[in-house]
């Protein structure tokens, strides 16, 4: 049976005021009505304030750990949700603050369980295409961070570890997606997201790159939570968003795809690049590793290239410059608080 053709599709972005989510909302506004769902527990109103002026964008303050009835919101009448429904759902909501990881463990558990059921039920209700943003952590702690990881790899499991609410939670969340696809006949996909950076990242959350930048600008030491060999892959946020949109546009046979940078780099090298770009004389200092910041391998992107025609395009130096420019231009509001998400 063919789907009815609407002037613009209705797209739900859950966690849409977050770092990646806000960039995704902005990208989707080119050809969709965007409904952003968030409760600012892990995001900032400033990330979406510039989108509130658009008639095709609507923000709903809601905790997705609770069931969501989009038809109860009068502000969505303009999108004819009761008649048209929802065509696409992106689920990105999950706490990701290294600093507050211990405090947010229950919220993380809920995001990877109850919120999964709530969002997948919406996909079933509206027969919507669905993407869940999983994480590279499902591959397990990697001793060799240079070994490319294929989507078919399975890492070590430790469901009782101090990190299990996130790591094993993401595995369970993937199981939810697969089970609903198998039993409910929905087109549900998993994006395994590797480390991403860019504008809209929260400061002082110990996520390294935004803190590197602000500390370099303020003349403070840049802290690396690990030793000089602590490394990562990095994907600029617009590349990540492009990968997610391409994944949504793929056929139902595409189920799980790695999305991330394919070049392993030491955090000390990233820190030094930021020092050079900002002409800062700050020093690089090492601190004890953080529970949330573990070793991750590099993604094998051959499948993403094959089925999505996707590879990251933004060079690290260019991405860092854009991120630094954003921090400089928004420094005061980033340092001293958020403005309200009001029209």
CB 67 within 8 A of CB 118: yes
CATH number, domain containing residue 45: 3.40.50.720
- 54-66 pLDDT tens trace: 999 999 999 999 9
Mean pLDDT on 191-204: 90
What is the pLDDT at residue 341?
37
What is the pLDDT at residue 173?
96
Any domain includes 37: yes
Q: Which residues in 156-192 are b (16+ Cβ under 10 Å) and which e? A: eeeeeeebbbbbbbbbbbbebbeebbeeeebbbbbbb
- 210-240 pLDDT tens trace: 999 999 999 999 989 888 888 889 999 999 9
Q: Which of 12, 189, 21, 188 is nearest to 94 (CA)?
A: 21
168: containing domain: 9-200+234-261+292-314
- 137-177 pLDDT tens trace: 898 876 555 678 999 988 778 788 888 888 899 999 999 99
Any domain includes 257: yes
Any domain includes 303: yes
Tokens 């990242």 belong to residue: 201
Any domain includes 57: yes
Residue 102 or residue 326, greater confidence:
326
Q: Given a cut of 80, is residue 331 above it in pLDDT?
A: no
What is the pLDDT at residue 336?
57
- 15-51 pLDDT tens trace: 999 999 999 999 999 999 999 999 998 888 999 999 9
Any domain includes 222: no
Any domain includes 324: no
Taking the C-alpha atoms of residue 188 and residue 178, their distance in angstroms, rounded to an integer, is 7
- Show Cβ contacts of residue 327 under 8 Å, excluding neighbours closer than 6 positions: 199, 210, 213, 214, 217, 334
Kindly report the pTM of this predicted structure: 0.92
CB 94 within 8 A of CB 51: no
Any domain includes 279: no
Any domain includes 188: yes
Domains held by the chain: number = 1
């Amino acid at each position: 049976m063919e789907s009815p053709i609407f002037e613009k599709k209705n797209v739900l972005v859950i966690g849409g005021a977050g770092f990646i989510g806000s960039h995704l909302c902005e990208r989707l506004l080119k050809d969709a009505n965007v409904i952003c769902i968030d409760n600012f527990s892990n995001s900032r109103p400033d990330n979406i304030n510039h989108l509130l002026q658009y008639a095709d964008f609507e923000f709903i303050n809601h905790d997705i750990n609770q069931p969501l009835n989009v038809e109860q919101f009068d502000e969505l009448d303009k999108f004819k949700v009761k008649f048209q429904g929802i065509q696409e759902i992106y689920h990105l909501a999950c706490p990701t603050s290294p600093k507050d990881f211990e405090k947010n463990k229950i919220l993380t558990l809920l995001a990877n369980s109850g919120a999964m059921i709530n969002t997948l039920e919406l996909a079933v209700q509206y027969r919507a295409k669905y993407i869940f943003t999983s994480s590279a952590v499902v591959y397990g702690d990697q001793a060799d961070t240079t070994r490319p990881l294929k989507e078919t790899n399975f890492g070590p499991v430790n469901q009782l570890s101090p990190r299990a609410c996130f790591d094993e939670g993401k595995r369970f969340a993937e199981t939810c997606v697969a089970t609903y696809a198998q039993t409910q006949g929905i087109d549900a996909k998993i994006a395994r997201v590797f480390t991403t950076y860019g504008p809209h990242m929260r400061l002082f959350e110990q996520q390294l790159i935004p803190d590197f930048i602000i500390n370099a600008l303020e003349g403070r030491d840049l802290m690396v939570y690990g030793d000089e060999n602590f490394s990562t892959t990095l994907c600029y946020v617009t590349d990540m968003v492009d990968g997610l949109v391409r994944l949504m546009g793929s056929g139902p046979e595409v189920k799980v795809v790695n999305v991330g940078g394919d070049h392993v780099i030491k955090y000390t090298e990233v820190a030094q690049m930021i020092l050079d770009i900002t002409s800062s004389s700050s020093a690089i200092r090492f601190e004890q590793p953080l529970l949330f910041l573990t070793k991750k391998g590099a993604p094998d992107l051959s499948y993403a290239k094959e089925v999505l025609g996707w590879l990251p395009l933004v060079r690290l130096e260019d991405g860092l410059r854009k991120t630094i420019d954003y921090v400089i231009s928004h420094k005061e509001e980033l340092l001293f608080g958020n403005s309200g998400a009001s029209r």
